[in-house]
Chain A
Amino acid sequence: MAVLVIADVNGVDLEESTRKTVTAAQAIGGDVDVLVAGSGAQGAAESASKIAGVRTVHHADDAIYANRLAEDFAGLIVAMAEGYDAILATANTTGKNVMPRVAALLDVMQISEIVAVEAPDTFVRPIYAGNAMQTVQSSDAKKVITVRATAFAAAGEDGSAAIEAVGAAPSAGVARFVGEELTQSDRPELAAAKIVVSGGRAVGSTENFEQYIFPLADKLGAAIGASRAAVDAGYLPNDYQVGQTGKVVAPELYIAIGISGAIQHLAGMKDSKVIVAINKDEDAPIFQVADYGLVADLFKATPELIEALS
């Protein structure tokens, strides 16, 4: 048995989620290799070589992988696929973009966003916004899988795998990177933060986020999240959305402020260790999952909370 993990490379750095996906790969069993694709991502390859239990790091260094466009990246993964019984990637926007393309090229059915490995061919995954957990057994010879990183612990960092260069696969030549608008922030990354402070529609404006939510997050060293309603209203950029169709988070502490608790939002945060909800409606569904609920006006309670933490 051998498993290939597609490294989660952000620019030229290795994301922690790679180590979590390696843990999922180890649960499947056999030798675990990692593929790092990027442009000038030698540092990411070196970080990957330190992940405990990794046999070999394959490093494809080419300008066509700088932005991980699905058309070219999928071609590389398919070219590497021989000899592997399973290919895993983190279920982030890159993994979700690339892996189904890989699966179709290999004529296999992808198993999306697994949260547990029951056997080398059997996996658990949420469906219906996490309202049901499905256990599926795959009959495909090669498994193509995306992994919900929050469901797995990170593998250690005391490994010393060899790094082997691999050549680029031919470019599909059908897509081109034009530009990106990345959210700049000194705060922890939402998907990996220990504490997340999220605001909903009730926060009311970008200015109110800056005045009430940001200082609280900074006091706690927290990342900031939002409901779909807050993002749709333009209070915060799209990459702050937590939920079924946004990011899935599972921090030690999740503070939901002015969020009602729709199932689509709960799908993205209900595995948090401790949940706090501040909402002025005592019947808001968010209180059904909150460990600590405070029925209050957020514009009064949030400044008090910042004060109490000072």
Chain B
Amino acid sequence: MKILVPVKRVVDYNVKVRVKSDQTGVDLANVKMSMNPFCEIAVEEAVRLKEAGVATDVVAVSIGPEKAQDQLRQALAMGADRAILVKTEAAPEPLAIAKILKKVADDETPEMIILGKQAIDGDNNQTGQMLAALLGWSQGTFASKVEKADDGLHVTREVDGGLQTVALNLPAIVTTDLRLNEPRYASLPNIMKAKKKPLDVKEADDFGVDLAPRLTVLKVAEPPVREAGVKVESVAELVEKLKNEAGVL
């Protein structure tokens, strides 16, 4: 089976972003960019399914700027077979991303698409579910375990009360949660090999998808700042303050 893995180039999770003073967005100049951590988990899972003999081909796809090739090369170095960049300088919303991914899926006919549950820039947590809807497929979101079974795919999901397991007909969408696996680091030889793997570049405008945003960003502001309080010297002082000053005990 072929697995498609959409990966997004985002601000590295270690960067504390700053809001621009004109409140039009966050300052991304000279900020370190990486593959979204949940997408790394998605690539890892697809590669493991290939290593286990369940998958035959792993195709990574990213919709983004020219530079998103760096993240696709990383996916190739981790073990993906091919990559597709759908180039756009605009940053399309999840709905438009899902529509482009649907066209890629129509073309590639994968049996499984593994996405991250959430891109850590927009914190939307939407794209996989939207893509499942557009394709009319089943969805196993927030996965902590993925197993191929006779009756399809068994996905264990991280839910508010604990864990839920669902059986999905294939083709299916999976979105990854943190406990699904620990992504590998690409070895130097694999990074070298990845340079020779095929990476197709396409133009987003050729997909016939309306990329116009449905949401207009009116403002991006700093969150309310929380002032650091005081250091207490002892447990006794802490309890006294919580009782008499904060009034929470």
Which residues of A approach B to under 8 Å, CB–CB?
A: 10, 67, 69-71, 74, 92-94, 96-105, 107-113, 122, 125-140, 172-183, 191, 195, 220, 228, 231-232, 237-239, 241, 244-245, 247, 252-253, 263-264, 270, 273-276, 282, 287-296, 301, 304-305, 308-309
Please, what's the 1-or-0 string for B150-183, where 1 marks a CB less than 8 Å from any CB in chain A? 0100100111111111111100000001110000
Q: Does B130 reach chain A (CB closer than 8 Å)?
A: yes
A-B residue pair count with CB separations less than 8 angstroms: 263
Is chain A's binding surface mostly helix, strand, loop or mixed?
mixed
With contacts A131-B16, A273-B248, A295-B231 known, is A97 near B120, CB below 8 A?
Answer: no
Q: Is the CB of A175 within 8 A of B154?
A: no
Known: A74-B133, A183-B161. Contact between A138 and B178, CB under 8 A?
no
| B interface bracket (residues with beta carbon within 8 Å of A) | 35 or more
Q: Which of B57-65, B197-205, B212-220 contacts A (4 or more CB under 8 A)?
A: B212-220
The CA of A181 and the CA of B166, in the complex, are separated in Å by 12
Do A132 and B223 touch across chains, with their CB atoms under 8 A apart? yes
- A-B contact list, 6 entries, CB within 8 Å: A100-B129, A103-B126, A177-B167, A180-B163, A275-B226, A309-B249
- With beta carbons under 8 angstroms apart, the residue of B94, B121, B161, B229 that contacts A239 is B161
Partner of A304, one of B123, B167, B235: B235
Asked if B232 contacts A292 (CB within 8 A), the reply is yes
Please state if A101 and B223 are interface contacts (CB–CB under 8 Å): no
A69 to nearest B CB, angstroms?
Answer: 7
B46: Cβ under 8 A from any A Cβ: no
- Which residues of chain A have C-beta atoms less than 8 A from B94's C-beta? 100, 109-110
A263 touches B142 (CB 8 A): no
Across the interface, do B124 and A110 meet the contact criterion of CB distance under 8 Å? yes
A96 to B232, CA, bound (A): 40
- Chain B positions near chain A (C-beta within 8 angstroms): 11, 13, 16-17, 19, 26, 38, 93-95, 98, 117-118, 120-134, 136-142, 144, 151, 154, 157-169, 177-179, 213-223, 226, 228-232, 234-236, 238-239, 241-242, 246, 248-249
- Shortest beta-carbon distance from B38 to chain A in Å: 8
The answer on a CB contact under 8 Å between A132 and B220 is: yes
Known: A232-B178, A239-B162. A291 touches B239 (CB 8 A): no
Chain B residues with CB below 8 A from A108, complex form = 95, 214
A287 to B230 Cα, complex, angstroms: 9
Contact, CB under 8 Å: A174 / B226: no
Which listed residue (A101, A128, A172, A294) contacts B17, Cβ 8 A? A128
Distance of A136 from chain B, by nearest CB (Å): 4
> B160, A93: Cβ atoms under 8 Å?
yes
Closest chain-B Cβ to A306's Cβ sits at a distance in Å of 9
B161 A10 Cβ-Cβ under 8 A = yes
Shortest distance between the CB of B229 and any CB in chain A (Å): 4
Cα A291 to Cα B230 in complex, Å, equals: 6
- Are the C-beta atoms of B166 and A178 separated by less than 8 Å? yes
Q: How far is the CB of A104 from chain B (nearest CB, A)?
A: 4
Contact A238 B162 (CB under 8 A): yes
Q: Which of A67, A132, A291 contacts B222 (CB 8 A)?
A: A132
Beta-carbon contact of B130 and A101 below 8 Å: yes
- Name the distance in Å between A72's Cβ and chain B's nearest Cβ: 10
Q: Please, how many angstroms separate the alpha-carbon atoms of A126 and B121 in the complex?
A: 10
Set of chain B residues within 8 Å of A244, measured between Cβ atoms:
120, 123
Chain A residues, CB < 8 A from B131: 104
Contacting residues, chain A, for B162 (C-beta < 8 A): 180-183, 237-239
Contact yes or no, A178 B232, CB < 8 A: no
B130 touches A129 (CB 8 A): no
Q: In the complex, which residue of chain B has the Cβ closest to the Cβ of A113?
A: B123
Tell whether, in the assembled complex, residue A292 and residue B161 are in contact, meaning their CB atoms are under 8 Å apart: no
